[in-house]
A and B are shown apart, each in its own frame.
Chain A
Amino acid sequence: MFGRSFQRDASQLLLLSVLAEKPLYGYAMTKEVAAKSGGELKLTPGVLYPLLAKLERSGFIDSSWETIRSDRRAVSDVAANEGVAADEDEAAGRKRKWYRLTDKGRAELASALKDHHAYVNMLAAFLPRSGGQEETSS
């Protein structure tokens, strides 16, 4: 049931989850993950971009390019549709690649979440409630 690498699946689950909320570009994803985890999780580019390529190839996400405009109100088509604004002023002319979850990706996320919860529940059955240390000391 949990044949695949949990850590690899966790990264994928993480990405699909943040993209389920809104379209994001690569760097924004790293910030989003860091912010949501209180700085505990760091999605490194070495993991992020190959994983994005893999997810896109699998059809779980799709992408579009945004050219940042010089009018301080650069808003990508994707961002505009989703109400996400990127008010970059200093990056005029630079390009960003925005990623968005596809329907297939949403289905994959739902399936992965189900697996994940089942895994956590199964694991919980083996773990002491307060942790081994407390049990030993009490």
Chain B
Amino acid sequence: MSQPAVRDERFCTFYLGDARYGIDILTVREINRRAVVTPAHGAADCVRGLMNLRGQIVTVIDPAVRLGGRPHEFSRSTRLVILKTNAELEVSQARGRATSEDLAGLCVDRISDVIEVSEEQIAPPPPDRLGKGDFLISGIAQLDDGVIRILNPTAMVNLGEGD
């Protein structure tokens, strides 16, 4: 599958509005569909609430709000991208990556494919834009059918870092 010289990386991709985003698949624990989210009033805006994942409580984070956009509207196509915790990453093959100590999930508008991108295809994010949320994007993958913004999972779920 992978060529020896260039490292391929796999990303789980999804849509926020019309824009397509990707996140390193090794940091993803599972994709959840029928989520019932209990709002957590008084928390940061991007914290949309808590959900029950088979007895564990997941904090739902709104990536759209993190990126400076409008809050996610929950609908039938809403999916939750549940990330592995740091402890889970530590015991998986994904050592060296970091997310959060707590179980967190991202609410996204629509889930898309898992793609395989070689390192060469990923460009650094354009440095000239300094809009809110830029530090959350670690790179831009140029594909035949468009552009995928690669999210930095660590920055995504660690609030108060860099913003």
* A and B interact: no
